[in-house]
Chains A and B, each alone.
Chain A
């Protein structure tokens, strides 16, 4: 095992040392809260907020709004047609003034008295996502899943038939657990209790996978420290 730490002579190398220092600042929180952790935390929030501003400006506002509007004011667009409002699918030219104005109206939230103007922008956002998600959930999560659940309970083999029965029983009883229009008594009570058992197995499996996810994040950090920072080579 030999040590080949990142060089301090290149910007990339210095960056790795900075990254390692900040990593230890954050990990120091495990001992107790301290000024190094607070410094790193505030540095992270500042850099993140600044990064989100500049990212959304250059990747969305500039190419999807400013550039098409600039071309539209010159009477051009993506297609051959001329005219500021000569829009067609994918080429909206001057009509993009509408989202431009709505986007600026969002900032009225920062000014108390005229903050209600931002509701118009929010209404468009909410309307778009409500429409998209209603159909998405209906088609992707309801219809397709019901279709896939309609499977034969007898497959010709005992093992897979038993599995199909267990699956269907689990699905139906779990769904019945979420039926709150009637009190869970009698047959419904028994069914929903069985459903709870299946749900607990599901949550237990989810917990197991969550542990895997969290541990792997720590593994990744140690791999950065050992491989990129210290360059430990075997």
Chain B
């Protein structure tokens, strides 16, 4: 009897294991699209968007479900909405798109490999002249080798601007904000002299990945030095005078004692700025509310004037349509609806504030950022998609860390990074 019972239990366990394996395989299909395995219903689309609600407002799901109701009714369709967390977001959308069982419409952040693998459909035929007139950032969309547009910008902003803690600056006798690299050095020295316990200026050279570190630590200065990431042939153009200028700027910060040795373990500049341990940082415009909520008396400018003038980095994330989507016309209609002025206005007001992407939108960023976006959009640059960008940024960060510890010169940073990129990353 005992043996029989044990046998039954073992069989139940085995069945459970097998069912579990089966369920994991089918759940991705069941919960996403009925796309490739079974032909999708023509009036059914799967939409994947990431979480952007980090505050107290309506959740992303509540917001989008409300917004999509009218679209579904008007187009007699069903939108299967999935809100994904940022954890492994890129991996999730890659595997979803490659399996053919993922989203029909997807929010993308890193698109190079997706476009190279032909996983995203060209959108040109769905974009009318009127649309081209209305969308502000079409230049920042992602294009394939044939020059076809494969994504439509949805979230544009979080420009990396320079913040100043005015209490610290005033205590150091500084009443006017610096405008050039040299003036910035002078202000930093004055702060250091007046308050040696405070970081005059910090950058995230202890970040855990290159993308985070370079976003505020390198790219703004690279653009201020007149750098362009890709040349006219679409090849990586980082072995340039602008790269050298930007690296020399960073190195000078260390050489002149504005950064101390612990800069290579610095992973949270905004935290230091909030706690009053740092006087100046570069951070996204999205950080402003945190600074205000924490009582920091801050002011900001778009950027310092470098050798080539003003310049900073801006983020552009977009929507794309999976190549396997069976109703691309409806999908295109959906992405235009999602990015339309009224929908984005509501989204920016209720979920996450960013610059408007269409001319018919009315949402305005809080000042001084609205003016910055209005007046200086020509000096806000996107780091374009290129092969192995993440590897490149990681390698660049690690070599800059070596420069800050005195092991490499700026020229060697470029040399080492480009050699590694050409030999190991580029196919």
- Decide whether A and B assemble into one complex: no
Residues of B within 8 A of A (CB): none
A interface, CB within 8 angstroms of B: none
